[in-house]
Amino acid sequence: MITIENLSKTYGGTSVVRDISFKARPGRVTGFLGPNGAGKSTSMRMMVGLTTPTSGTATINERRFVDLPNPGREVGVMLDASAQHAGRTGRETLTIAQRMMGIPASRVAELLELVSLTATEADRRVGNYSLGMRQRLGIAAALIGDPQVLILDEPANGLDPAGIRWMRDLLRDYADHGGTVLLSSHLLNEIEIIADDIVMIGQGRIVCQGSKTELLQAAGTVVRSPDSERLHRALVAAGIAATESGDGAFRTGAGITEVGRAAHKAGVLLTELRASDSGGLEDMFLELTADTQRERTAA
Amino acid sequence: MTTITDEAVRARRTEIAQIPLSRVVSVELRKMFDTRAGFWLIASLAITGVFATIATIAFAPDQSLTYYTFAKAIGFPMTVILPMIALLSLTSEWSQRSGLTTFTYLPNRRRVVLAKTLSSVTVAVASMGLAFAAGAIGTVVGSHIAGTSTVWDLSLGHALTIVLGNLTCLLTGTMLGMLLRSSAGGLVTYFVITLLLPTLFGLLASTQDWFHDLRPWVDLSLARSSLFEGMHTGDQWAHLAVAVALWIVLPAAFGLRQVMRAEVK
């Protein structure tokens, strides 16, 4: 279980992470979703003590990461697969982890097999690895201590479709056996495929969180009028928050009936009114991130 | 699947023991050897030692083929290489970004730095031991070839001050590693400190009277040279203590503070 409470990080005058709170629960894969620069990596670094929070706390199984006696045995961490000494072989990288954690040497070979790195590949230097191979090595290093919690930053980056599928099955199985997984991504599809719970972050703020099922149901409405200004005024008058998408349509979290009634009341002609389809999460992702961007320009 | 244990196994592991310092030191020692660069850096200690022995036999005047000559010749390259080893063991965590994993395996950065310092000292002491042994062989072989008598002119006390001198070189590397956390910057600064600064101090001392008396207290390489030549007076120890405090202890304390606070990215 990962518990984040009111976590914030400010650099100089710039807020990178603003008062985020959420939980990643055992038995579930929690997807930490947000566009690049939303504060995902900073949040994750704060969880594992690499960055000191300005305020708030992050605990893993009720303890701060820095207070864990042997963190590798309780939390598997992969923040950047490329952050490995280029001159070490893959096998040596895992051996260092194994020795530091004080676990049997046989784990190295077990993990290499689990992540499908061959003996030849394992004896090559990490500097010669492809990004996909580094991700596999990073996953192996995260899992080697047999932890109950996994924190992975963009683990699917650089994996081919087969690799993404492999990762999904691996994490699914891990969670099904009671493990807690928190993984970040800026790609909605990945999160949609792997995660049970979703925490969406934009401009350092959590814009929405909940189970994937819940969030999918909550997908909103698309509405379009030749007179988009009047439509916008009508929506505002009815107290409906809406975002204008690039093609002149508005997207909103409000229901179809509510939107239709608002347009009717204002006498606005509609050319389109429907529930948003095509992976409602994507609409919401774009909408929510657009929302936070708008807030920033307004501020 | 092998990696995921069931609840029973997890419950068994309610108390996980703290990582002992000895384990961290042994891992850090391993990390000094397990890259090609690291391996050759440490191998170069032995290689330059052999060359120094051969060069001494070949070029030194016959009457000076004594143990001290050999020990000094073999020890000199170490004063250059050991600080680099100490420096790189620290800076590579930032330059190679491996600190991202190192500090998540062991979030207590003070212990990581301590372990790295201890492992550098271990390498230094071991290589000094080898240097003294190689020097002994050189002395026997050299005097045999030259047909002179074998002279053992290095006291235990002097040997110890030489080891101490080497350790101050090494710790300069550790200090710079903590302070700069960059391999390139650290190496450049190290050579500026060891090669350029003594010359500048020398120049300054010969032209400025006020600095002439101050120099022994602030010139670390001058203060250290008496460790290699042999400590004779209490003044020399006092000079050394002040220079070490100024050039190693103070900046290292500041560097450690930085390491504790710096964000690892």
- Whether residue B36 and residue A87 make contact (CB cut-off 8 A), yes or no, is yes
Of A67-71, A140-144, A232-236, B256-260, the poorest mean pLDDT is in: A232-236
Site from B21, B25, B101, B265 to mutate, A interface, most A CB atoms within 10 angstroms: B101
Residue B10 has pLDDT above 70, yes or no: no
**A54 and A191 belong to one structural domain:** yes
Residue B9 has pLDDT above 60, yes or no: no
Residue B257 has pLDDT above 50, yes or no: yes
Residue A83 has pLDDT above 50, yes or no: yes
> Which range of residues forms the domain containing residue B34?
19-177+184-261
**A82 and A147 belong to one structural domain:** yes
Going across the sheet that includes A63-64, the strands are A14-24, A2-11, A55-60, A63-64
> Which range of residues forms the domain containing residue A280?
217-298
The pLDDT, as a whole number, for residue A76 is 97
Cα distances (angstroms) measured from residue A26 to each of A154, A176, B76, B236: 20, 9, 58, 64
- Whether residue B107 and residue A100 make contact (CB cut-off 8 A), yes or no, is no
What is the number of domains present in chain B? 1
Site from A85, A115, A180 to mutate, B interface, most B CB atoms within 10 angstroms: A85
Is residue B140 in a domain?
yes
At A213-237, the pLDDT tens digits run: 777 666 678 888 888 888 889 988 8
**From the list B31, B92, B105, which residue is nearest A71 (CB)?**
B105
**A188 and A164 belong to one structural domain:** yes
- Whether residue A99 and residue B105 make contact (CB cut-off 8 A), yes or no, is no
The pLDDT, as a whole number, for residue A283 is 66
Q: What number of CA atoms fall less than 13 Å from residue B19's CA on the CB side? A: 32
Among the three residues A157, A188, A210, which one is the final residue of a domain in this structure? A210
**A114 and A229 belong to one structural domain:** no
Q: Of A218, A221, A217, A232, whose CA–CA distance to A272 is shortest? A: A221
At B139-190, the pLDDT tens digits run: 999 888 888 888 898 899 999 999 999 999 999 999 999 999 999 999 999 9
Share of chain A above pLDDT 90, in %: 58
Cα distances (angstroms) measured from residue B62 to each of A151, B55, B68, B204, B235: 67, 13, 13, 38, 35
Cα distances (angstroms) measured from residue A141 to each of A75, A88, A90: 11, 14, 10
Q: Which two tokens stand for residue B132?
A: 């003294």
What is the pLDDT confidence band of residue B71, given thresholds at 50, 70 and 90?
confident
Taking the Cβ of residue B234 and every Cβ of chain A, the question of whether any pair is shorter than 8 Å is answered with no
The pLDDT, as a whole number, for residue A239 is 85
Q: Which chain B residues touch A58 with a CB distance below 8 Å? A: none
**From the list A66, A77, A88, which residue is nearest B35 (CB)?**
A88
CATH number at residue A54: 3.40.50.300
CA dist A207 and A292 (Å) reads: 8
Residue A135 has pLDDT above 90, yes or no: yes
**A129 and A262 belong to one structural domain:** no
**A17 and A87 belong to one structural domain:** yes
The pLDDT, as a whole number, for residue A80 is 93
**Which residue has tokens 């080697």?**
A144
Is residue B150 in a domain?
yes
Of A76-90, A247-261, A281-295, B9-23, the poorest mean pLDDT is in: A281-295
| Mean pLDDT in residue range B252-256 | 96
**A223 and A125 belong to one structural domain:** no
At B201-218, the pLDDT tens digits run: 999 999 988 898 899 999
CA dist B79 and B170 (Å) reads: 7
Contact B178, B90 (CB under 8 A): yes
What is the number of domains present in chain A? 2
Is residue B241 in a domain?
yes
| Mean pLDDT in residue range A144-163 | 92
Among the three residues A210, A241, A263, which one is the final residue of a domain in this structure? A210
Taking the Cβ of residue A173 and every Cβ of chain B, the question of whether any pair is shorter than 8 Å is answered with yes
**A187 and A252 belong to one structural domain:** no
**A160 and A247 belong to one structural domain:** no
Q: Which of residues 258-297 of A touch B (CB under 8 A)?
A: none
Shortest distance, CA B224 to any CA of chain A (angstroms): 34
**From the list B6, B18, B107, which residue is nearest A66 (CB)?**
B107
**From the list B3, B30, B36, which residue is nearest A96 (CB)?**
B30
**From the list A52, A70, A84, which residue is nearest B101 (CB)?**
A84
Site from A16, A50, A135 to mutate, B interface, most B CB atoms within 10 angstroms: A50
CATH number at residue A258: 3.30.70.100
User: What is the ipTM metric for this complex?
Assistant: 0.88
- Whether residue B1 and residue A173 make contact (CB cut-off 8 A), yes or no, is yes
The pLDDT, as a whole number, for residue B264 is 86
**A257 and A286 belong to one structural domain:** yes
The pLDDT, as a whole number, for residue A249 is 84
**A97 and A242 belong to one structural domain:** no
**A195 and A267 belong to one structural domain:** no
